[in-house]
Amino acid sequence: MDTATIGGVWHEVVGTQPHPAWWLVAVTGVAALAAVSVRSVWHVLRNVVTIAHEGGHAFAALITGRQLQGIRLHSDTSGVTVSRGKPHGPGMIVTAFAGYVTPPLLGLGAAALLAVGHITALLWASIVLLAAILVMVRNAYGVVSVVTTGAVVFAVSWFGSATVQAAFAYAFTWFLLLAGARPVVELQSKRSRGRAPDSDADQLARLTGMPGLLWVFGFGLVAVAALLAGGSWLLPDTMPQLPSW
């Protein structure tokens, strides 16, 4: 890659792109909602949410001074992040809390970038974050999952037209915003049947003495708030007017 090409790529990354048509924003939102709602599609794409979830645990562990041991992602869309440090205290609480809130917060950040026209920057930021997570993954399925996700984002950012990039960026952002709530619902469903005794919420309950259900409510509150705020940023200012009768 020559200097001119590198300069062109950098100009695209730091520059802004025009906002897409209202119908593209609407269609990508509907597609993302379908992806979250249809069980077979959700089972595949939930891997993306798990990557973000475990990445959130890992980032929280690092910033709170814990020693990160690694991330493992599994084919059933579960995952685990192992860190070493005090088994109690603020650092452990922040680390345990970070998982479920990271996907919707990433969606909120992505919506903020799209609101100011940074479509290409969003795509490349996603690649950088995935590369950072890849370094921490410690099993084969996890490596394949992260590399595949990164390859898709790279292919869109490098080979896709402006319209394809915009459609992917908006669909990806809608998906993160909408997908933030479903794992929380699934978590409480498992907890109610006694199938998740070591869930993040139950770990937080043991760490703080506060009920696990309260922590589940906190996860859900963050997800809903991010969806409402991020969704309002994604929707265009000008929508088609309905005919007056």
pLDDT digits (tens, 9 = 90+) for 149-162: 999 999 999 999 99
Give the phi and the psi of residue 136 in degrees, each rounded to 5: -95, -10
- Taking the model in full, what pTM does it have? 0.92
Q: Is the pLDDT of residue 129 over 80?
A: yes
Q: Is the pLDDT of residue 52 over 80?
A: yes
Taking CA atoms, 77 is separated from 13, 54, 73, 131, 199, in Å, by 31, 11, 7, 19, 14
Distance CA 59, CA 188 (A): 24
Distance CA 106, CA 99 (A): 11
Distance CA 57, CA 94 (A): 8
Q: What's the mean pLDDT when you consider all of the chain?
A: 92
What pLDDT score was predicted for residue 2?
47
pLDDT digits (tens, 9 = 90+) for 173-231: 999 999 999 999 999 999 999 988 999 999 999 999 999 999 999 999 999 999 999 99
pLDDT: which is higher, 170 or 235: 170
Whether the CA torsion 185, 191, 195, 196 is positive or negative: it is positive
What pLDDT score was predicted for residue 15?
74
What pLDDT score was predicted for residue 201?
97
